[in-house]
Structure 1
């Protein structure tokens, strides 16, 4: 089906109302036509509550049809939509709602907040299903805490044009970066939609005319079962998911046909080379990777065959992006030398809502730093070392925790691991590894010796952990991000 002349969700839904749009977490199916009707009704409902261009709507919503409806309704009214993590405390949610000045808050039945409306039914009730007048593109405003302090909204200027006018540019960008195109494709949502990448991929799957299959949470075997059942062609995942699927017994992995997969896009955290290679050995060359941040969006990207030729790279600058590596003195570094990564793009800038000082502090002129350390090779491919805030300096030598974690994760007895630097009078910092053993593995001195022996041929001895301790669970977000700062704080407080 050729959608080139009907760009974007709203036009596709009007032209092809019977097309399947969403398969919800409980298996409920919604067509493009029915979804557009609900989106339009909610759009009229938001207008009826007095919202106008530039106002803010927040959603504390689980994965499901309501989250999709809010995304697409605000997207044609010139509103800012703030998806909020439902795992936050009541006080944390209240802070974001105050800071963003949300005029309407939509919640799930299990995530209610004072003044919030449960679900989209109330907004839609009694409203017409036709398109609202004066349609104009909205924007999603994600809240990110970065490394310290209270979270801040990453706010971009509204485009000031109908969605149909701006969709082609972003569709072109996604096509260039991850080979996604309009057509008869099936997209699998594996992560909470309050995070930027899963939210963006859901939105653009609908702009491409794809069918969106939504999971309530990640379960490794269930993901494989859904891929086989719905013949999923593309999905967005994170490295922790790959690691957990590789830990499934061989007979379980072999049960499921995943040959329909063509693009599995991953981001959010560094992926150990061995883990990515094993997934490609299993699924074929289908892993697309991009690197960026909520602020910079997709700044670097790499397709499967380029990665296989340069294992470990996160790619070259994405279309419209430029990049450079700066040393501590602010001077640009040559290829091969690690430094702070800076990027800029012609696709628009951002600001932290209500915090011009934080905005200015993250910029060097037009250049923004995500706060990560990396280096470019001679061909302009970026290799990440670690976050600047996670860097361990021991005996005057820079040690990158991600490199040690990648080595330990290659051992089958390791389910998860966090490597941190702990203050030491002699060395400055010592390397400490907190290991979550795989199911059925006994923690103890024998396992420690085995892990250190395993590190021998993989990383230099000065990088080996001085201390290995064991944990039942390590704190990761639902998208797989590990908070080393939280792990470090708990360790230093003696929470062992």
Structure 2
């Protein structure tokens, strides 16, 4: 696949083709592709009016998304892409000092925030002198404003209404999107993803929909129209927060095929709302993050069955999880009630395609056992490839479509993206063994490994053993200092 493009250019072509087809839904609200394109263009116009956009050596103005799931997240991301700016995720659970670090590290110029987060950002505003445009998103269903705002803030809907749509411009597949890590490998770092690399990562999305991989925006639009005509377009619910790489990347992948993205209205995960939305919107795809989502989803299905009101989930085809352990027992419990394929992706902020585990009814999948990706391998720390069946531990690596590295951190970039066998790899630090059949057993992240009596104990291994006990709902294992 050679779709060396900016997301905005691809999505504009799809919007021109699909027009009145639904692109985003949130509760009773639905926006068409034409409306999405117009609102994104107005946001890009507002950025230009404020004097922010492209033009710097590191990819243009940085736009922080301090948002819960909803249409504004996608609209502002699309608008930033139109302006050749760099949107990035802001963890809405961060407190003042954490937000100050993140926004400063990103050299953030624009923040788009839900009202619950405005006061937190205002409290550290003086600590982030790069900030130039502060936007508060009100109620996304009825469009009501966010209430009285501090000086210097503007209401999102008022901003869009007052701005002319930005003209379409030439862009590059080298333009960037930042994905900030959660800090498991030290302080959060911004992973710099070129658009063309992410579009390359999404190759399996088109393959899964049984269409040819496009190589131009016009071809992507033609494929999107074909999927709509067949009624086989993705109708995706990103159940996990869009600030997490799983939901944000799968959302971008779905939109790039002309899909329909449906977000949940609750500020925290509500499995009853999820299943009701699947039923109401005839969703075909879900994305979650491991057992923390799957367990309450199963409980809600059991409750619905017990009360004689089971959900109609016949539309659901695929549930994808990435970013956390998805245990075999939870997969089995879900498969007993949902007629969908379960895809457990092994990925990280620093790279994708490490491995995958697929489960269907009648074809179970265990815990932490994955088929290596086409561009993946396991290497020892001195760069030697681990032999299958040797029992030797090594670090997972993936090649192929990769980020440039970490923003403003050359040393960490060199450590995470080494060259083995004459090729650049992403090696975020997850350890695994390789079986004779080529599958891998994921052990855990080296940075949280517990050294005890000369042995490495991975917390994930202990957690999974603990959670196998019937009376344990969840478990987290951490190491503590000990003289012995």
**SS where residue 132 of structure 1 aligns?**
coil
Alignment partner, residue 473 of structure 2: 415
Deviates more, 1:235-244 or 1:413-422: 413-422
Shift of residue 178, structure 1, vs aligned partner: 8.7
> Which of 418, 438, 445 matches 1:387?
445
| Match runs of 1:97-116 below 5 Å | 97-112=103-118, 113=121, 114=125, 116=134
Cα gap change, 1:171 to 1:344, in 2 (>3 Å): closer
2:451·2:457 contact (CA, 8 Å) conserved in 1?
Answer: yes
> Residue by residue, what CA displacement relative to the aligned partner does 1:211-248 show, whole Å, maximum 9, x if unpaired?
21101331122212211121111011122111222334
| Match runs of 1:70-149 below 5 Å | 70-112=76-118, 113=121, 114=125, 116-119=134-137, 120-129=156-165, 131-136=167-172, 138-149=175-186
Shift of residue 69, structure 1, vs aligned partner: 0.6
Cα gap change, 1:354 to 1:233, in 2 (>3 Å): same
> Which of 313, 316, 331 matches 1:276?
331
- Structure 2: gaps (5+ residues): 1-7, 126-130, 138-155, 212-222, 228-232
Shift of residue 177, structure 1, vs aligned partner: 7.0
> Residue by residue, what CA displacement relative to the aligned partner does 1:286-329 show, whole Å, maximum 9, x if unpaired?
1012112101133322333599466335533434x231231x55
* Runs of 4+ with deviation above 6 angstroms: 177-181
Alignment partner, residue 388 of structure 2: 335
> Which of 273, 288, 292 matches 1:222?
273
1:264·1:286 contact (CA, 8 Å) conserved in 2?
Answer: yes
Cα gap change, 1:130 to 1:103, in 2 (>3 Å): closer
| Match runs of 1:240-279 below 5 Å | 240-248=292-300, 250-253=302-305, 255-279=310-334
Q: TM-score, normalised by structure 2?
A: 0.77
> Which of 287, 293, 300 matches 2:348?
293
Alignment partner, residue 206 of structure 2: 175
Alignment partner, residue 240 of structure 2: 191
Cα gap change, 1:246 to 1:311, in 2 (>3 Å): same
2:23 is aligned with 1:21: yes
> Aligned partners of 2:339, 2:186: CA distance in 1, in Å?
42
Alignment partner, residue 406 of structure 2: 352
1:72·1:203 contact (CA, 8 Å) conserved in 2?
Answer: no
1:371·1:388 contact (CA, 8 Å) conserved in 2?
Answer: yes
> Residue by residue, what CA displacement relative to the aligned partner does 1:181-206 show, whole Å, maximum 9, x if unpaired?
95333111211111111111122222
Deviates more, 1:117-126 or 1:358-367: 117-126
> Aligned partners of 2:330, 2:68: CA distance in 1, in Å?
29
> Aligned partners of 1:212, 1:156: CA distance in 2, in Å?
22
> Which of 63, 74, 77 matches 1:68?
74
Deviates more, 1:377-386 or 1:266-275: 377-386
2:69·2:241 contact (CA, 8 Å) conserved in 1?
Answer: yes
Alignment partner, residue 474 of structure 1: none
> Aligned partners of 1:424, 1:358: CA distance in 2, in Å?
29
Shift of residue 23, structure 1, vs aligned partner: 1.2
Alignment partner, residue 231 of structure 1: 282
Alignment partner, residue 467 of structure 1: none
2:443·2:458 contact (CA, 8 Å) conserved in 1?
Answer: yes
**SS where residue 73 of structure 1 aligns?**
helix
Shift of residue 31, structure 1, vs aligned partner: 1.2
Cα gap change, 1:268 to 1:421, in 2 (>3 Å): same
> Residue by residue, what CA displacement relative to the aligned partner does 1:268-301 show, whole Å, maximum 9, x if unpaired?
1122222222222222451012112101133322
> Aligned partners of 2:201, 2:412: CA distance in 1, in Å?
28
RMSD: 3.0
**SS where residue 156 of structure 1 aligns?**
strand
> Aligned partners of 1:60, 1:335: CA distance in 2, in Å?
44
1:40·1:131 contact (CA, 8 Å) conserved in 2?
Answer: yes
Shift of residue 146, structure 1, vs aligned partner: 3.6
> Which of 187, 206, 209 matches 2:255?
206
Q: Which has the higher contact order (CA 8 A, sep 6+)?
A: 2
Shift of residue 80, structure 1, vs aligned partner: 1.1
**SS where residue 192 of structure 1 aligns?**
coil
Shift of residue 340, structure 1, vs aligned partner: 2.9
Shift of residue 262, structure 1, vs aligned partner: 0.5
**SS where residue 442 of structure 2 aligns?**
strand
| Match runs of 1:54-65 below 5 Å | 54-55=59-60, 56-65=62-71
> Aligned partners of 1:306, 1:387: CA distance in 2, in Å?
30
> Residue by residue, what CA displacement relative to the aligned partner does 1:14-40 show, whole Å, maximum 9, x if unpaired?
12221111111x421111111111011
> Aligned partners of 2:178, 2:263: CA distance in 1, in Å?
22
> Aligned partners of 1:309, 1:14: CA distance in 2, in Å?
42
**SS where residue 347 of structure 2 aligns?**
strand
